[in-house]
Amino acid sequence: MLVMLLLAVSFSVRAQKAGFTAMANTGALQQALAKNAQVTQSISSDFNQVKNMKMLNDKVSSKGKFYYKQSDKVRIEYTSPFSYLLVMNSGMIAVKENGKVSKINTRNSLTMQSVNKIMMDCMRGTVFNNKDFSVKAYASSAQYLLTLTPVSSAVKGLFKNIDVYINKSDNQVAKLIMTENGGDNTVMTFTNRKLNSNLADALFSVR
Protein backbone atom coordinates (compact mmCIF):
# COMPACT_ATOMS: atom_id res chain seq x y z
CA MET A 1 0.00 0.00 0.00
CA LEU A 2 2.79 2.46 0.89
CA VAL A 3 4.58 1.84 -2.41
CA MET A 4 1.33 2.41 -4.33
CA LEU A 5 0.76 5.74 -2.60
CA LEU A 6 4.33 6.90 -3.02
CA LEU A 7 3.94 6.21 -6.72
CA ALA A 8 0.74 8.22 -6.76
CA VAL A 9 2.32 11.28 -8.21
CA SER A 10 2.97 10.28 -11.83
CA PHE A 11 1.84 10.21 -15.43
CA SER A 12 2.39 8.24 -18.63
CA VAL A 13 4.46 10.06 -21.22
CA ARG A 14 3.98 9.94 -24.97
CA ALA A 15 6.63 10.80 -27.54
CA GLN A 16 4.34 13.61 -28.73
CA LYS A 17 2.48 15.79 -26.24
CA ALA A 18 -0.91 16.57 -27.74
CA GLY A 19 -1.54 20.31 -27.59
CA PHE A 20 1.92 21.05 -26.13
CA THR A 21 4.98 22.55 -27.79
CA ALA A 22 8.55 22.06 -26.56
CA MET A 23 10.07 25.10 -24.84
CA ALA A 24 13.55 26.00 -26.04
CA ASN A 25 14.22 28.43 -23.18
CA THR A 26 12.93 27.76 -19.66
CA GLY A 27 14.66 30.60 -17.80
CA ALA A 28 11.55 32.76 -17.47
CA LEU A 29 9.45 29.77 -16.38
CA GLN A 30 11.96 28.79 -13.71
CA GLN A 31 11.99 32.34 -12.36
CA ALA A 32 8.18 32.49 -12.32
CA LEU A 33 7.91 29.19 -10.44
CA ALA A 34 10.52 30.24 -7.89
CA LYS A 35 8.79 33.59 -7.31
CA ASN A 36 5.41 31.89 -6.95
CA ALA A 37 6.81 29.40 -4.42
CA GLN A 38 8.14 32.24 -2.26
CA VAL A 39 4.66 33.71 -1.80
CA THR A 40 2.86 30.37 -1.41
CA GLN A 41 2.83 29.69 2.32
CA SER A 42 0.28 26.88 2.18
CA ILE A 43 -1.94 24.89 -0.16
CA SER A 44 -5.05 22.88 0.62
CA SER A 45 -7.10 21.05 -2.00
CA ASP A 46 -9.20 18.03 -2.83
CA PHE A 47 -7.67 15.38 -5.05
CA ASN A 48 -8.87 12.54 -7.22
CA GLN A 49 -6.53 9.66 -7.97
CA VAL A 50 -6.75 6.97 -10.62
CA LYS A 51 -4.28 4.10 -10.76
CA ASN A 52 -4.14 2.41 -14.16
CA MET A 53 -2.91 -1.19 -14.02
CA LYS A 54 -1.72 -2.31 -17.44
CA MET A 55 -1.55 -6.07 -16.84
CA LEU A 56 -5.01 -6.26 -15.26
CA ASN A 57 -6.59 -3.75 -17.66
CA ASP A 58 -8.15 -2.21 -14.57
CA LYS A 59 -8.44 1.13 -12.79
CA VAL A 60 -8.57 1.91 -9.07
CA SER A 61 -10.07 5.28 -8.13
CA SER A 62 -9.78 7.08 -4.81
CA LYS A 63 -10.08 10.60 -3.44
CA GLY A 64 -9.07 12.67 -0.47
CA LYS A 65 -7.53 15.86 0.87
CA PHE A 66 -4.09 17.33 0.16
CA TYR A 67 -2.24 19.88 2.31
CA TYR A 68 1.13 21.60 1.93
CA LYS A 69 2.80 24.05 4.32
CA GLN A 70 6.05 25.83 3.56
CA SER A 71 8.62 24.58 3.32
CA ASP A 72 8.70 20.85 3.96
CA LYS A 73 5.29 19.67 5.19
CA VAL A 74 2.84 17.56 3.14
CA ARG A 75 -0.29 15.69 4.23
CA ILE A 76 -2.08 13.30 1.83
CA GLU A 77 -5.28 11.99 3.40
CA TYR A 78 -7.28 9.36 1.52
CA THR A 79 -10.95 9.38 2.50
CA SER A 80 -12.61 7.13 -0.11
CA PRO A 81 -12.93 4.21 -0.75
CA PHE A 82 -10.47 3.59 2.11
CA SER A 83 -8.96 5.61 4.94
CA TYR A 84 -5.21 6.11 4.70
CA LEU A 85 -2.91 8.92 5.83
CA LEU A 86 0.58 9.84 4.64
CA VAL A 87 2.51 12.77 6.12
CA MET A 88 5.92 14.13 5.10
CA ASN A 89 7.54 16.46 7.62
CA SER A 90 11.20 17.43 8.21
CA GLY A 91 12.71 14.35 6.59
CA MET A 92 10.23 11.90 8.12
CA ILE A 93 7.43 10.00 6.39
CA ALA A 94 4.62 8.80 8.65
CA VAL A 95 1.80 6.48 7.58
CA LYS A 96 -1.42 5.63 9.41
CA GLU A 97 -3.54 2.69 8.28
CA ASN A 98 -6.15 0.76 10.23
CA GLY A 99 -5.24 2.72 13.35
CA LYS A 100 -1.57 1.74 13.16
CA VAL A 101 1.21 4.28 12.67
CA SER A 102 4.58 3.58 11.05
CA LYS A 103 7.40 6.06 10.49
CA ILE A 104 10.30 6.16 8.06
CA ASN A 105 13.40 8.34 8.37
CA THR A 106 14.15 9.33 4.79
CA ARG A 107 17.78 10.00 5.72
CA ASN A 108 18.26 6.24 6.00
CA SER A 109 16.94 5.49 2.51
CA LEU A 110 17.99 7.00 -0.82
CA THR A 111 14.68 5.88 -2.31
CA MET A 112 12.60 7.59 0.37
CA GLN A 113 14.77 10.70 0.12
CA SER A 114 14.02 10.82 -3.60
CA VAL A 115 10.27 10.38 -3.11
CA ASN A 116 10.21 13.10 -0.44
CA LYS A 117 12.27 15.48 -2.59
CA ILE A 118 10.04 14.98 -5.66
CA MET A 119 6.94 16.01 -3.76
CA MET A 120 8.62 18.99 -2.11
CA ASP A 121 10.12 20.20 -5.40
CA CYS A 122 6.69 20.10 -7.04
CA MET A 123 5.24 22.27 -4.29
CA ARG A 124 8.23 24.64 -4.07
CA GLY A 125 8.60 25.10 -7.81
CA THR A 126 12.17 23.77 -7.75
CA VAL A 127 11.72 20.74 -10.03
CA PHE A 128 14.44 21.99 -12.40
CA ASN A 129 16.97 21.81 -9.56
CA ASN A 130 16.39 18.14 -8.74
CA LYS A 131 19.56 16.34 -9.85
CA ASP A 132 17.79 12.95 -9.80
CA PHE A 133 16.02 13.90 -13.05
CA SER A 134 16.51 15.49 -16.43
CA VAL A 135 13.64 17.88 -17.18
CA LYS A 136 11.99 18.82 -20.47
CA ALA A 137 9.40 21.59 -20.58
CA TYR A 138 6.40 22.00 -22.87
CA ALA A 139 3.67 24.62 -23.09
CA SER A 140 0.06 24.75 -24.27
CA SER A 141 -2.29 27.72 -24.25
CA ALA A 142 -3.30 27.03 -20.64
CA GLN A 143 -0.61 24.87 -19.02
CA TYR A 144 3.05 24.00 -18.72
CA LEU A 145 4.10 20.36 -18.75
CA LEU A 146 7.35 19.30 -17.11
CA THR A 147 8.50 15.79 -18.02
CA LEU A 148 10.97 14.34 -15.51
CA THR A 149 13.15 11.40 -16.59
CA PRO A 150 15.19 9.64 -13.87
CA VAL A 151 18.97 9.82 -14.16
CA SER A 152 19.96 8.53 -10.69
CA SER A 153 19.93 4.83 -9.86
CA ALA A 154 17.77 5.41 -6.75
CA VAL A 155 14.94 6.84 -8.83
CA LYS A 156 15.32 4.70 -11.97
CA GLY A 157 14.15 1.72 -9.93
CA LEU A 158 10.90 3.52 -9.06
CA PHE A 159 9.77 5.45 -12.12
CA LYS A 160 9.98 5.42 -15.87
CA ASN A 161 9.05 9.10 -15.88
CA ILE A 162 6.98 11.74 -14.11
CA ASP A 163 4.86 14.48 -15.68
CA VAL A 164 3.94 17.63 -13.77
CA TYR A 165 1.12 19.76 -15.20
CA ILE A 166 1.13 23.41 -14.05
CA ASN A 167 -1.61 25.95 -14.69
CA LYS A 168 -0.37 29.12 -16.38
CA SER A 169 -3.03 31.15 -14.59
CA ASP A 170 -1.48 30.72 -11.13
CA ASN A 171 1.68 28.60 -11.65
CA GLN A 172 0.23 25.92 -9.35
CA VAL A 173 0.43 22.16 -9.91
CA ALA A 174 -2.85 20.92 -11.40
CA LYS A 175 -1.98 17.30 -11.99
CA LEU A 176 0.79 14.80 -11.32
CA ILE A 177 1.41 11.43 -12.95
CA MET A 178 4.08 8.79 -12.38
CA THR A 179 4.65 5.98 -14.79
CA GLU A 180 6.20 2.90 -13.25
CA ASN A 181 8.74 0.81 -15.13
CA GLY A 182 6.18 -1.92 -15.73
CA GLY A 183 3.79 0.48 -17.46
CA ASP A 184 1.29 1.12 -14.66
CA ASN A 185 0.62 4.76 -13.90
CA THR A 186 -1.20 6.82 -11.32
CA VAL A 187 -2.88 10.14 -12.01
CA MET A 188 -3.50 12.63 -9.21
CA THR A 189 -5.66 15.66 -10.08
CA PHE A 190 -6.05 18.60 -7.69
CA THR A 191 -9.30 20.59 -7.39
CA ASN A 192 -10.87 23.22 -5.09
CA ARG A 193 -7.46 24.66 -4.26
CA LYS A 194 -7.04 27.25 -1.48
CA LEU A 195 -3.81 29.18 -1.09
CA ASN A 196 -2.25 30.65 2.05
CA SER A 197 -4.95 29.60 4.48
CA ASN A 198 -3.89 29.09 8.09
CA LEU A 199 -2.92 25.41 8.44
CA ALA A 200 -2.11 24.20 11.95
CA ASP A 201 1.18 22.34 12.43
CA ALA A 202 -0.86 19.55 14.05
CA LEU A 203 -2.11 18.60 10.58
CA PHE A 204 1.40 17.42 9.78
CA SER A 205 1.81 15.02 12.67
CA VAL A 206 0.45 11.48 12.92
CA ARG A 207 -0.75 9.91 16.18
* Burial group, residue 51, by CB count within 10 angstroms (0-12, 13-18, 19+): buried
User: What mean pLDDT do residues 79-85 have?
Assistant: 95
CATH number given to 2-204: 2.50.20.10
Say whether the peptide bond before residue 81 is cis (omega within 30 degrees of 0): yes
Whether the full predicted model's pTM is greater than 0.85, yes or no, is: yes
The pLDDT value recorded for residue 1 is 47
Write the pLDDT tens digit of every residue in 111-129: 777 778 888 888 888 899 9
Q: What are phi and psi of 48, to 5 degrees?
A: -120, 135
